[in-house]
Structure 1
Amino acid sequence: MSLVTVSLGSNIYPDKHIRLCLDALEDTFGHLQISRIFESEPVGFKDSRNFYNAVVAFYSDWSAGELQAWAKQLEIAYGRTPEMTKCSPRALDIDLLTVGDASGIVDGIPLPRAEITQNAFVLQPLAELLPTQRHPSCSTPYATLWQRFKMGKQRLWAVDFYWRGRWVSQADPQPQTAQAR
């Protein structure tokens, strides 16, 4: 069994689609560790709605290829099609971040995912969820990577999110901005 982390994103009815994704993950893989849910301004998108983002961790004995195929099938079930452009609105985006300590190309998938160290909407929830866990390539704890992270123009803030009878996330009193860090 390996610890698997995935990032979730949605900017089409994000409350609904993040909930549906969490349902599918828990129904398939069992107990989940879930970060707070963050709203973020789109990175690389023009004239797009804000995203909801989260990171989820769970244990699985599935291969990276099996995990990736499952995630892509779920995205397709909620309207994502192969011809959609990279920066188009989406009901659901599931990205495989890590599978245990795998590093390199595994089943044709680059692991760990480069976005971990590039985007606040991935690194902040990951660092909060698994602060002492070490990045598979550089062996630096996620909390340390987050402390060193330069926000630039990226903005994100935690939102209230209730799922399966419990609060997963509650809003920050003030959003994170480049000036606040």
Structure 2
Amino acid sequence: MSLVTVSLGSNVEPVRHIRLCLDALFDTFGALHISRVFESEPVGFSGGHNFYNLVVAFESDRSPSELQAWAKGVEVLYGRKPDTPRYSPRALDIDLLTVGDLCGVVEGIELPRGEITQNAFVLQPLAELLPEERHPACNTSYATLWANFSLGSQRLWPVDFTWGNAWLSRAEATTLKTSAR
């Protein structure tokens, strides 16, 4: 079993789509470690609504290609069209960040995902969720990477969020071992 991290994002009915994705993750992988939910302005394009973003960690023995196929299937199930331009509004975006300590192009997938060190909406929730875990490529803790990160024009802020009977607070990350529904 490997620790897997994924980032979730949505700016089309984000509360609904993030909840649906958390349901799918829990139903498939079981216990989830969930970061706070952050609202952020779109990065790379203008217009549209702000995004909701978070990071989820869980244990899995699936391969990177199986995890990627699962993620893309869930995106399509909840309304993402496969030909959606990279920088555009989306119902659901699930990005595979890490699979254990795998590095490089594994089964056609770049691991760890480059966005970890490029985007605040990925690094901040990851650093808060797993502060002492180390980035597989540079062997630096996520907390240290976040402490040294320059926000530039990126803006994000935590929001209160509920999923079933679970309250994902602005103040702390959450571990759910049973269904929140």
Q: What range describes the TM-score normalised by the shorter chain of this pair? A: over 0.9
Distance in 2 (CA, whole Å) between partners of 1:142 and 1:95 is 17
The match for 1:121 is 121
Which aligned pairs between 1:80-119 and structure 2 lie closer than 5 A? 80-119=80-119
The match for 1:154 is 154
Distance in 2 (CA, whole Å) between partners of 1:88 and 1:119 is 16
Distance in 2 (CA, whole Å) between partners of 1:25 and 1:83 is 23
SS of equivalent residue, structure 2 residue 131: coil
Distance in 2 (CA, whole Å) between partners of 1:28 and 1:11 is 24
Q: Could you say what the CA RMSD is over the residues aligned between the two structures, in angstroms?
A: 1.1
For structure 2, list consecutive stretches of 5 or more residues without a partner in the other structure.
Answer: 173-181
Which aligned pairs between 1:1-181 and structure 2 lie closer than 5 A? 1-170=1-170
* 1:15 Cα offset (Å): 0.4
* 1:10-33 residue CA offsets vs partner (Å, 9 max, x unmatched): 000000000000000000000000
Query: Identity over the aligned pairs, expressed in percent?
Result: 70
Letter in 1 for 2:83: E
Aligned residues: 172
* 1:70-113 residue CA offsets vs partner (Å, 9 max, x unmatched): 00000011111122111121110000000000000111000000
TM-score between both structures, scaled by the size of structure 2: 0.93
Letter in 2 for 1:33: H
SS of equivalent residue, structure 1 residue 70: helix
Distance in 2 (CA, whole Å) between partners of 1:164 and 1:29 is 17
CA contact (8 A) 1:35 1:169 kept: no
For structure 1, list consecutive stretches of 5 or more residues without a partner in the other structure.
Answer: 173-181
Instruction: Return the structure number with greater relative CO, CA threshold 8 A, min gap 6.
Output: 2
